[in-house]
Amino acid sequence: MQIIETLNQGLKREFDITIPAKDMNSHLVTRLEVIGKRVKIPGFRPGKVPLPLLKQRYQTDALRDVIENCVDKAVKQTVKDHNLKLALKPNVTLTSYEEGKELTFHMDLEVLPVIEEIKLDGFSFEKYVVSIPSEQVSDVLTNLAKRHRESQPLQKPRKSKKGDIVIIDFKGFIGEDSIEGGEGQDYPLELGSNSFIPGFEDQLVGHDKGMQVKVNVTFPKEYHEERYADKPARFDVTIKDIHELPPVAIDAALAEKLGFKSLKDMEAAIQENLSKDYLAQSFLNTKRHVLDALAERFTFEVPQRMIDLEFDNIWSQLLRELGIDQSQAANIDGKTFKDATGKSEEDLRKDYHVIAERRVRLGILLAEIGNRNKINVSNDELGEALMNRAREFPGQEREVFDFYRNNESALATLRAPLFENKVVDFILDQSKIKEISATPEELEKILLREEEEAEKKISTTPKKPKKQK
């Protein structure tokens, strides 16, 4: 086999590879012999089929397999011989092949950049520490108690009032046309919950059981179904029954109902969960600053194909969020990108190319930091992440487990953020950390402000990458 490097520029490499005719013929004969041992041809015992007959019947399929295997082995040999760290799978283009002649193909690829030195000294970051006020724990307890009350039919007949649960049949119309999805039967609706269109629940207050009520409302301007947005509608409603809720009771019975030994244990669990939530929010905020600091300190050339792939993923997600069909022209129901986002498509593409380049560069850097410092995700950590993911789908836990365990790429989506967070923790352990006390409200304002500032930096021109050896 002959391997000739035809390009070595930056992170790009190209090779012309030739596999001799004798090797191709030998592999083809071997492949045909393997096929001959398992096929059944009238008049011949398995393994005794003449080679000319095997060629006549199976050469096309056999040759395809041989070319694929030979190219695969040649690619691996080239990568090994030249000590290449691939960014992505190489592109392979067959140059020529005829039976009895040599096989030639061209391979182009990109390698990962060589980061000579990674110094993590001198970093300093702020970390917000939130103390959970007792009022917030009380609010959670109250909401839990409200959600787990069991309504009962009225003991004495009376008119409906706010706080009642009315059992209703309803059907909605715009003009004379039925509203798609705008009907239901035996629907339990808590009056005052604001779970229906504004004004709907108010018009069901003050009625007796068995009453038929015509409810007139107007869909909100920002309603998710654009065809109904800002349209007047009528709902024919029958109040089939009226239930009332008992007073809110925060006691040992509630704790036992929710699986706690005592009310004190339930309060402690709520306190712990709230602390974990704010700790996670605070970590994400600090992590953003860590990534910003890394992006500022380390600049190097990044494989273009990796940037293009990341950009395609970001752009596809953006189009989905904007409701754009990629097969259509660049507009959103007649509106332009400018109308929808305030920027032209060209400017948006520039902005998101910057984001893509940054993500790829940071991904490569974090992976290198992790590898050099032997940081990895344990099976226990991955298992816990899988458990948490499964809990998001009550009743479908087994299906979620099976999906991830049988899909390595899906499992990688769980492993990646765990690894990234562990690397960030490693960096923080070596950095100067200033803890700042904050209330939940203050943290929320800080996170919102910094999120807005981060969005403004999207289009900032990145530093020119340093040349890699």
| pLDDT score for 335 | 58
Number of residues written out for the chain: 469
Please state, in angstroms and rounded to a whole number, the distance separating the CA atoms of residues 209 and 157: 8
Would you say the C-alpha torsion 155, 157, 163, 166 has a positive or negative sign? positive
| pLDDT score for 468 | 42
Q: Is the predicted pLDDT of residue 460 greater than 70, yes or no?
A: no
Q: Is the predicted pLDDT of residue 413 greater than 50, yes or no?
A: yes
| pLDDT score for 240 | 96
| pLDDT score for 423 | 97
Which of 73-77, 262-266, 460-464 has the lowest average pLDDT?
460-464
pLDDT in tens, 193-222: 999 999 999 999 999 999 999 999 999 988
Per-residue confidence at 332, pLDDT binned at 50, 70, 90? low
Residue, of 461 and 226, whose pLDDT is higher: 226
Whether 78 and 107 have beta carbons less than 8 Å apart is answered as yes
Pairing mode, if any, of strands 91-96 and 212-218? Answer: unpaired
Q: Is the predicted pLDDT of residue 239 greater than 80, yes or no?
A: yes
| pLDDT score for 458 | 56
Per-residue confidence at 355, pLDDT binned at 50, 70, 90? very high
Distance (Å) of CA 345 to CA 310, 320, 326:
17, 15, 13
Half-sphere exposure at residue 130, Cβ-oriented, CA atoms within 13 angstroms = 26
Q: Is the predicted pLDDT of residue 469 greater than 50, yes or no?
A: no
| pLDDT score for 334 | 52
The order of strands in the sheet holding 12-19 is: 2-9, 12-19, 103-110, 91-96
Place of tokens 């992440």: 385
Q: Is the predicted pLDDT of residue 167 greater than 90, yes or no?
A: yes
pLDDT in tens, 26-45: 888 888 888 877 777 777 77
Please state, in angstroms and rounded to a whole number, the distance separating the CA atoms of residues 349 and 360: 16
Residue 237, φ and ψ in degrees, nearest 5: -120, 135
Q: For the chain, what is the mean pLDDT?
A: 89
Please state, in angstroms and rounded to a whole number, the distance separating the CA atoms of residues 438 and 131: 7
pLDDT in tens, 109-143: 999 999 988 999 999 999 999 989 899 999 999 99
pLDDT in tens, 53-68: 887 787 788 888 888 9
Q: What is the mean pLDDT of residues 336-352?
A: 82
Q: What is the mean pLDDT of residues 406-426?
A: 93
| pLDDT score for 235 | 96
Per-residue confidence at 467, pLDDT binned at 50, 70, 90? very low
Q: Which domains does the chain have, with CATH numbers?
A: 2-110 (3.30.70.1050), 151-244 (3.10.50.40), 256-300+373-456 (no CATH)
Q: To the nearest whole percent, how much of the chain has pLDDT over 70?
A: 94
Residues 6+ apart with CB under 8 A from 254: 144, 145, 148, 263, 266
Whether the model pTM is above 0.85? no
- Give the pair of three-digit tokens for residue 273: 């969960």
| pLDDT score for 97 | 81
Please state, in angstroms and rounded to a whole number, the distance separating the CA atoms of residues 434 and 124: 8
